[in-house]
Amino acid sequence: MTTSIVDAESLLAIDIGTINTRALLFDIVEGQYRHIATGTALTTAGVPYLDVGEGIHRAIQNLQDLTGRVIIGPSSEVILPMAANGAGIDQLAITYSAGPELRVVIAGLLPDVSISSAQRLVATVNSRVVETIGITDRRRMEVQLDAIVHAKPDLVIISGGTDYGANRSVLKVVELILLACKVTAKGQIPEVVFAGNKALADRVKEFLGRYTRVTLLSNLRPSVDVENIDSNLNAFIEVVNRIRGEQIGGLAAFAALGNTCVMPTPLAFGRMIRFISCVNKEKGVLGVDLGASAATVAIAVGGKLSLNVYPLNMGAGHLSQRAIEGVMRWLSADIPEAVVRDYLWQKTLFPASLPLTHQSLLIEQAAARYILQTVTQLAMMRGQYAGRGFEPVIASGAVLSFTPQIEQSLLMLLDGLQPSGITTLILDPNGVMSAMGAAAGLNSVIPVHILESGAFLNLGTVIAPYSRARYGSKVLQVRVVYEQGGDARYEIKQGTLALLPLENGQVARLHLSAINGATLDATGKVRSANFKVIGGVCGIVIDARGRPIALPSDKARRREMLCKWRDALGISDSGIELAR
Amino acid sequence: MIAPVTHFLPLTKIRRARLLPVSGRVVVRVGQKVSAVDVVAESLGSGKHVIVDVWQALGFSATSRSEKWVGRKVGETVQVGDVIAETGGLFRKVVRAPVEGQIIAIGGGQVLLETKGEGTAVLAGFSGVVEELVPERGAIIEGSGALIQGVWGNQRIGMGTLQVVASAPDEELRADRLDVSLRGAILVCGYCADAGVFAKASDLQIRGLILASMASSLIPAARKVDYPIVLVEGFGNLPFNQVAYKILSTNEKREVAVNAALWDIYQGERPEIFIPLPAEGEMAAETDEFHPGQIVRIQGGDFPERTGRIVEVYPYPCPISNGLKVLAARVELADRESVVPLANLDVIE
């Protein structure tokens, strides 16, 4: 269907990543917005440039080379809006994840109420909570003061007190922050966000405003059982953008261009996940983005978003011993722990480097599994997601989409996320999710059209029955009736992984019968189902390995099992070494 | 495409800013010669804080707090036992300072004292001449000599005589290789996987270690020693690249400064080894683009030589043998050519 677009406007999305800066061009093709091309360059937030502008210009130049379209003018400026001769673009959206983590102090009242809400707000950006102060904190006030000063925060978030409720305790916290501002050297005083009892907001601004910039948000917990995160996100983005604009050279200059939307990459990613969840209200939508500096997990149900950013990345050398063991568990080859640890530490030094050997590829993909598993479990706990299942699951990030075989991407997601029931796995190979999230603020049509375009890769429908059956016993009967004619029947055994053939884009009807105590949903009531499926690039995926996947503790048996699953997906180990 | 640059230069001029994170006192002057361990600027770091609740100590009720009995002003320094508040009258009560420090704030019937901090000092990090002062923050220092940039350091600075104990770029350093003849030297060796080396080096008063690589399990031990340790290649068993090894081995017995900073691209910090030479070098470019003829270092893969020369930079993504399609260059190695992703290369200049 062709939609008429009255005010068709081209959009350039710039994503300033930790390693690469990408320029993504979206424009109208045959009445629909399409992702035209992506230009890439190294990010120049660090030395010697210390200005993201250079990387942005080069990424756009690369885009110009690829498309032939002129976007940069003779004075090296981005032509905005589009000129009469067709040069330039109409809108500019910028997302960024480059730069050091935002250091945040949280000062609130109760750990399970205002402090946890502030933590959830902070978790929406790449940040590190360097100190937490609450009324249950038994440290003396001066010790708390020293802890705050020593933590050298970029931002302090004060929360606590229901609206027109507690004020003495909140003022005590404010007094502490006031003292911290007083004793901190000029130029290093953190910005303050107040998101507590609104009756105190003006007084807090007056007290603290003499020393630093204070931003007032709506109370994160206006009452004990109400949490206000979503409604505060836009104002919070402004604060983060301002701090980042001072820390990341060149960012503020681009943000100041007209018709521009700037936001941290995780928030833009989360915005898209929330948008998609508004379409399918029966199930939640899960989005994961494994970036070079952080992992983002976005869970949205019916338009309500839970967004969490974890400072876990592929340069995972700083992981604890326990975490290294977690990575080791996903290795399908016998690689000594010392080699794994050394590789991951080396990756912290050269985060842009690509795995060139089979061994290094296995280590990176094992680390990706561990990170996916860890962050989704943490996010599920934090978001208190009831477990209605997800439809779809969307994955983004170079380590997931940049694989020699697409089945490797699939297996990483199956192992790391361990989806249950029936869902669809979607890969974002062009990294357009966050770009669209930012673009949505300027042009709400773009996300709709791009989602319907071929910018995403449907890996396949995944059927993962709930089952505690003995290994090897039959748990699922499957009949695939192809729309083009013919059918096929399969019996799936516990502990196995299988790809059922269905060409990408082809339609079939799937008849499922769970047997031997297995079910198709978390309630344990659905034992059979039949529905239409569209083939993904990997066909239809049956994952009957149980949840959580129980890996044998014996190393040799575990490796054997991991290899078996790789074989089941047709993942080959050959041809992976560099030609000599 | 922008190429990351690493300097392995037999003669160059370097110019580095050595600045305090906060305001302080600059202790060098323009034209002054400095060594690696000389202090450029220092600041009094804030010490601990002590809150004296004057109102409570004087026995007044919690309501209507005020500072009327505090006989001190913000900014005054006090010694232990100095009176900071007192009531008048026949039954006079006093409140004394519990610590030596400065009064930072007075309010709400309380006095906030700050004790003297340990202070922060910025060291020169290499031998050179102070070219410019940055008021209250530090100085710009220049020096000429050989430069080798590392990839990891244990955040120490030191200087000493360069002593190459490795007979090959990949030689492993073991504790039994160290003896008293190496006292006061900065040692160069290929690889270290033995924490005993660090302890023995401390006992022998070794001034520093320049290693090609180290087992990452030794990081905690390396952070504990008080002399600098710099890795030129990284973690794992990686030999020195030929360029770096040649510079180090040809400068044996010279004075060397080792700044084992942590590599931080946002702060502009990088571990560096600097060998001052009695010749004037040229400033090297900090940026470059990939092009044929460049000497590059290769990360990962099976490349024992670790360096090669770019023969061709492919303008579009091309397949490498592991199946990925990436921007890559054809690199001439010692006995063969290989296609290597640009992401795995840094230009040696």
Q: What is the ipTM of this complex?
A: 0.91
| A341 in the same domain as A284 | yes
Whether A48 and B287 lie within 8 Å, measured CB to CB: yes
Q: Is residue A79 part of a domain?
A: yes
Q: What is the pLDDT of residue B88?
A: 77
Domain span at residue A337 reads 266-464+550-568
Amino acid at A11: L
Q: What is the pLDDT along chain B (349 residues), one digit of tens a residue?
A: 899 999 999 999 999 999 998 889 999 999 999 999 999 999 877 789 999 988 888 877 665 566 777 888 999 999 999 998 888 777 788 899 999 999 988 888 889 999 988 888 999 999 999 999 999 999 999 999 999 999 999 999 999 999 999 999 999 999 999 999 999 999 999 999 999 999 999 999 999 999 999 999 999 999 999 999 999 999 999 999 999 999 999 999 999 999 999 999 998 899 999 999 999 999 999 999 999 999 999 999 888 888 999 999 998 888 887 778 899 999 999 889 999 999 999 999 8
Whether A58 and B2 lie within 8 Å, measured CB to CB: yes
Tokens, residue A6: 């009255």
Which of B114, B191, B235 should we substitute to test contact with A (largest number of A Cβ atoms within 10 Å)? B235
| A147 in the same domain as A88 | no
| A287 in the same domain as A344 | yes
| A218 in the same domain as A74 | no
Gap from A579 CA to chain B (nearest CA, Å): 6
How many whole angstroms separate alpha carbon B265 and alpha carbon B267?
A: 6
Strands B152-153 and B138-149: unpaired
> Contact B345/B329 with Cβ under 8 angstroms?
yes
Using an 8 Å CB-CB cutoff, list chain B residues near A349. 151-152, 234-235, 263
Q: Is residue A538 part of a domain?
A: no
Least confident of A294-298, A393-397, B160-164, B299-303: B299-303
Domain B290-348 part of CATH 2.30.30.30 = yes
Domain B46-116 part of CATH 3.30.450.20 = no
Whether A342 and B235 lie within 8 Å, measured CB to CB: yes
Whether B286 and A142 lie within 8 Å, measured CB to CB: no
Using an 8 Å CB-CB cutoff, list chain B residues near A50. 266, 268
pLDDT score of A386 more than 70: no
Whether A149 and B265 lie within 8 Å, measured CB to CB: no
Which of B265, B331, B335, B347 should we substitute to test contact with A (largest number of A Cβ atoms within 10 Å)? B265
Using an 8 Å CB-CB cutoff, list chain B residues near A145. 49, 51
| A86 in the same domain as A115 | no
How many whole angstroms separate alpha carbon B226 and alpha carbon A25?
A: 53
CATH of domain B2-43+121-276: 3.50.30.10
Q: What is the pLDDT of residue A3?
A: 42
Read off the DSSP letter of residue A111: I
**Cα-based angle A83, A32, A55 (whole degrees, multiple of 5):** 55
Q: What is the pLDDT of residue B170?
A: 94
Using an 8 Å CB-CB cutoff, list chain B residues near A402. 324
| A399 in the same domain as A373 | yes
How many whole angstroms separate alpha carbon A137 and alpha carbon A144?
A: 9
Structural domains counted in chain A: 3
- CATH code, domain carrying A205: 3.40.50.360
Whether B339 and A353 lie within 8 Å, measured CB to CB: no
Whether B301 and A356 lie within 8 Å, measured CB to CB: yes
Segment A22-46 mean pLDDT: 94
How many whole angstroms separate alpha carbon A506 and alpha carbon A533?
A: 8
Q: Is residue A493 part of a domain?
A: no
> Contact A126/A266 with Cβ under 8 angstroms?
yes
| A180 in the same domain as A86 | no
| A195 in the same domain as A335 | no
| A71 in the same domain as A20 | yes
A146 closest CB neighbour out of B49, B215, B263 = B49
Whether B286 and A357 lie within 8 Å, measured CB to CB: no
Tokens, residue A72: 């940069």
Residue A493: pLDDT band (50, 70, 90) is very high
Residue A578: pLDDT band (50, 70, 90) is very low
Q: How far is CA B109 from the centre of its chain?
A: 44
Using an 8 Å CB-CB cutoff, list chain B residues near A342. 215-216, 235-237
Whether A342 and B215 lie within 8 Å, measured CB to CB: yes
pLDDT in tens, A111-154: 999 999 999 999 999 999 999 999 999 999 999 999 999 999 99
| A168 in the same domain as A67 | no
- CATH code, domain carrying A417: 3.30.420
Contacts of A63 (CB under 8 A, 6+ apart): A12, A23, A25, A37, A38, A39, A69, A71
